[in-house]
Structure formats: structure tokens, C-alpha cells
């Protein structure tokens, strides 16, 4: 860890439930707790999932639910008009506002509104097109690495650092919620060894308020990110494992104490939470990796023998659909006249067997 304080991010995410007032209340909670930043999620359903992505079943402490993936995600969208107002409000409260983004147009919107720092979620770590767009913009990037291999992280880092070195990496698990036994915080050390010039941190998805964040600080994490909510019982998939305002205060206080313990050497690493140092796709991450790591899909109906242009292709999360090619292969369609072997329907995955 360097001499600067751990940077603590309170993730509002989709927990605003469509209410600007809820956003403001969560900003206030983050300020009162002593966080350094709040984070939004800026996306549009049409650039995140196919309309035909299917149905998703999930459960929380209150019960089981099922919903249409596309329609549910559309309901979680952050209105564009909120961004400037929230930036102004956060500035008045002396807390930074950053946002995750899922497509290049979203990057343009955030930069035009005045967002100064971009978060890239674990699900975009193989989206080379998006990483390139963010890096070219020159803004600092915080990149989560959950569900990815070390090789995939290396490739993402290579793309970003061609343009600047304002990059940070966050270890996390994409199992929601994450058990303490599945945190594998030893991966923080792996990121530090593999990328010694890049600050490493931790995005926590456990139910517990302080255990994993404190252990991450003991391992040298320079950033801690945690979801927040006004009330765990609110409707939505990200509330039940998020921190309520009083828990957020406890976490921030614990992290600050852990910083002091770390500097004085008066701490003990928990072997259970430390887990493994292997930067691999863990079994508990496989489902969400398959569900949400972005792939190539047809944006329109494509005729047999048609040349497939980049503008004919969308980069989307598959949901329950079959996977298309990884986004890195979009360059093939930019550089060569790739044709369809047979008719390809809109939202059908672009796969090797369909092209020549």
C-alpha cells in the first residue's frame, strides 16, 4: 500500500429503484459515512442484452422471483438527465461521482456530462472495443476483474496502458452474494505481483459489512468498493446484500482502522478469506460469466452471402442465449470481407460456423 488513504467507493448501482431522491439519500449516506466516491451504473438495455435474452430466476432472503431479462434491465436504467444534477450535488457535498459504462456511446455521454473517472465492470473485461474507447478518452479507469483469467486481465491492461497509465484493478468475485470462503483475497497479491505499477483494490459482494474489506486492506488494497442501499428489504436484485447507511459507517470506520493496523504491522490475515491466489474462473463464477461476459450478435437480419460489416454487429451480454464470438474478433469484420454462410437472424450470435 502507498502512503495515500484507501479510496472507498459506495456503489449506488441500480439500487435507486428509479428514484432520483433515493440517489440523493444514498449520496448523503456515503458522505456521512466518510466515503470518497459514489458510483452509478449507466447503461441502456438495448446495448446490454438482446431482447431475446430470456427469463432470469433469482432469489433473496424474502423469496424467489422470475423476470424477463431485457425488460427488467430496462427498468433499472439510470435517466441521463440525472447525471449532471448528481454531479453538481456530489460536488457540493465534496464527494466524487464516477460511473460504470457498458458501451462506447455511454462513454461519450458520461464524458459530455462531466464524469471524470470511469468504472469498467468485470463483465466488460473481454470487451476490447469498450476498453479501447475508454482508454483513448484519457480518463482514469477502475477495472474489475471478477470471473476472468489472468491472461484476460493482462490483455485488458495491455489495451488500456497503450494510451495512459491511469488504471486501477479490482479483484472481486462475480458470485452474488459471495461467501467469505469464496472471496479468495489472495488474488489481490497476484494482481500486485503481475502488475506492480498498477494500484490493486477489492470490490466486495459479501453479505458481511467489514470482514472482507478489512482483510483486503491488510493485503494492500488501495481501493474498496461496496454496494449500498437505503433498505435491504427494497425490491430489486442488489439490495439484500448491500449495506444500509449504519452498516456503511461501520465499514468505513473499520477500513480506516485497518489502514492504521496495516501501517503498524498489527494485523492478522484470515486464512479462510485469503483463500487462493489463483486468478482463474472459479466454479461459483461460471454461471454469471456465461450469462454476462459480452459477445458478438447480429444487429439486423443478414442474408446468405452478405458481407457482414461492423455496423451489423452488436456487443451484448448473452443472458440465456448461445454465445457469439468474443468482441476482439470484431476487427476481422473491419479488416476483411467476412460473409454469412446462411441467413443470420437479428440477435442471433455470430459464431465461426456461420461465417466465411
Nearest to 47 by CA among 350, 313, 316: 316
pLDDT tens-digit readout, 258-296: 999 999 999 999 999 999 999 999 999 999 999 999 999
DSSP label at residue 78: P
Residues 89-133: tens digit of each pLDDT: 999 999 999 999 999 999 999 999 999 999 999 999 999 999 999
Residue limits of CATH 3.20.20.70 in the chain = 7-43+78-283
Instruction: Decide if pLDDT at 55 tops 60.
Output: yes
Closest to 136 measured CA to CA, from 113, 112, 107 = 107
Domain with CATH 3.90.1210.10 in the chain: 294-354
CATH topology of domain 294-354: Type Iii Antifreeze Protein Isoform Hplc 12 (3.90.1210)
pLDDT band at 189 (very low <50, low <70, confident <90, very high): very high
How confident is the model over 75-86, as pLDDT tens digits?
Answer: 999 999 999 999
pLDDT tens for 122-142 read 999 999 999 999 999 999 999
Residue 56: per-residue pLDDT: 82
Report pLDDT digits (tens) over 302-342.
999 999 999 999 999 999 999 999 999 999 999 999 999 99
Distances in Å between the Cα of 35 and the Cα atoms of 188, 224, 350 are 21, 10, 43
State mean pLDDT over 196-200: 98
Query: Is the model's pLDDT at 148 over the cut of 80?
Result: yes
Q: How large a percentage of the chain has pLDDT more than 70?
A: 98
Separation between Cα atoms, residue 27 and residue 228, nearest integer Å: 10
Report how far residue 256's alpha carbon sits from residue 263's, in angstroms, rounded to the nearest whole number: 11
Topology of domain 7-43+78-283, CATH = TIM Barrel (3.20.20)
How much is the pTM? Answer: 0.95
Axis crossing angle, helix 186-194 with helix 150-161, rounded to the nearest 10? 40
Count Cβ atoms below 10 Å from residue 18 Cβ, excluding itself.
Answer: 13
Residue 62: the pLDDT is: 66
- pLDDT of 1 reads 45
pLDDT given at position 266: 95
Residues 207 and 247: their CA atoms lie apart, in Å, by 11
Q: What is the pLDDT of residues 207-263, one digit of tens each?
A: 999 999 999 999 999 999 999 999 999 998 899 999 999 999 999 999 999 999 999
Q: Do the Cβ atoms of 219 and 189 come closer than 8 Å?
A: yes
Instruction: Give Cβ neighbours of residue 38 (< 8 Å, ≥ 6 apart).
Output: 9, 10, 11, 12, 26, 27, 30, 90, 95, 96, 97, 98
pLDDT at position 149 over 50: yes
Which pLDDT score is estimated for 64?
A: 76
Read off the pLDDT band of 66 (50, 70, 90).
Answer: confident
3-state secondary structure 161-225: HCCCCCEEEEECCCCCCECHHHCCCHHHHHHHHHCCCCCEEEEECECCCCHHHHHHHHCCCCEEE
Q: Kindly report the three-state secondary structure assignment for every residue of 242-280.
A: CECHHHHHHHHHHHHHHHHHHHHCCCCCCHHHHCCCCCC
pLDDT band at 3 (very low <50, low <70, confident <90, very high): low
Amino acid at each position: 500500500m502507498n502512503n495515500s488513504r484507501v479510496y472507498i467507493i459506495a456503489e449506488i448501482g441500480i439500487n435507486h429503484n428509479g428514484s432520483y431522491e433515493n440517489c440523493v439519500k444514498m449520496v448523503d449516506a456515503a458522505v456521512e459515512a466518510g466515503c470518497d466516491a459514489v458510483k452509478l451504473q449507466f447503461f441502456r438495455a438495448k446495448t446490454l442484452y438482446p431482447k431475446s435474452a430470456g427469463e432470469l430466476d433469482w432469489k433473496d432472503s424474502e423469496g424467489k422471483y422470475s423476470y424477463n431479462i431485457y425488460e427488467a434491465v430496462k427498468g433499472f436504467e439510470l435517466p441521463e438527465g440525472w447525471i449532471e444534477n448528481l454531479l453538481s450535488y456530489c460536488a457540493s457535498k465534496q464527494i466524487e461521482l464516477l460511473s460504470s459504462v457498458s458501451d462506447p456511446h455511454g462513454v461519450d455521454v458520461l464524458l459530455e456530462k462531466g464524469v471524470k473517472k470511469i468504472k469498467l465492470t468485470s463483465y466488460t473485461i473481454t470487451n476490447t472495443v469498450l476498453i479501447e474507447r475508454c482508454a483513448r478518452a484519457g480518463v482514469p479507469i477502475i477495472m474489475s476483474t471478477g470471473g476472468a483469467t489472468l491472461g484476460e486481465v493482462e490483455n485488458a491492461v495491455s489495451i488500456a496502458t497503450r494510451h495512459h497509465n491511469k488504471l486501477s484493478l479490482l479483484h472481486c468475485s462475480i458470485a452474488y452474494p459471495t461467501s467469505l470462503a469464496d472471496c479468495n483475497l489472495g488474488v489481490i497479491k497476484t494482481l500486485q505481483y503481475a502488475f506492480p505499477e498498477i494500484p490493486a483494490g477489492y470490490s466486495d459482494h459479501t453479505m458481511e459489512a467489514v470482514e472482507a474489506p478489512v482483510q483486503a486492506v491488510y493485503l494492500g488494497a488501495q481501493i474498496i468498493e461496496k454496494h449500498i442501499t437505503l433498505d435491504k428489504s427494497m425490491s430489486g436484485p442488489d439490495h439484500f446484500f448491500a449495506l444500509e447507511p449504519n452498516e456503511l459507517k461501520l465499514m468505513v470506520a473499520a477500513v480506516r482502522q485497518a489502514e492504521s493496523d496495516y501501517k503498524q504491522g498489527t494485523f492478522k490475515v484470515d486464512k479462510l478469506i485469503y483463500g487462493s491466489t489463483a486468478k482463474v474462473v472459479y466454479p461459483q463464477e461460471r454461471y454469471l460469466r456465461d450469462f454476462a461476459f459480452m459477445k458478438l450478435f447480429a444487429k439486423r437480419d443478414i442474408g446468405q452471402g452478405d458481407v457482414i460489416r461492423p455496423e451489423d454487429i452488436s456487443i451484448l451480454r448473452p443472458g440465456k442465449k448461445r454465445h457469439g464470438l468474443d468482441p476482439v474478433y470484431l476487427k476481422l469484420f473491419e479488416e476483411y470481407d467476412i460473409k454469412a454462410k446462411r441467413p443470420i437472424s437479428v440477435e442471433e450470435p455470430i459464431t465461426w460456423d456461420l461465417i466465411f
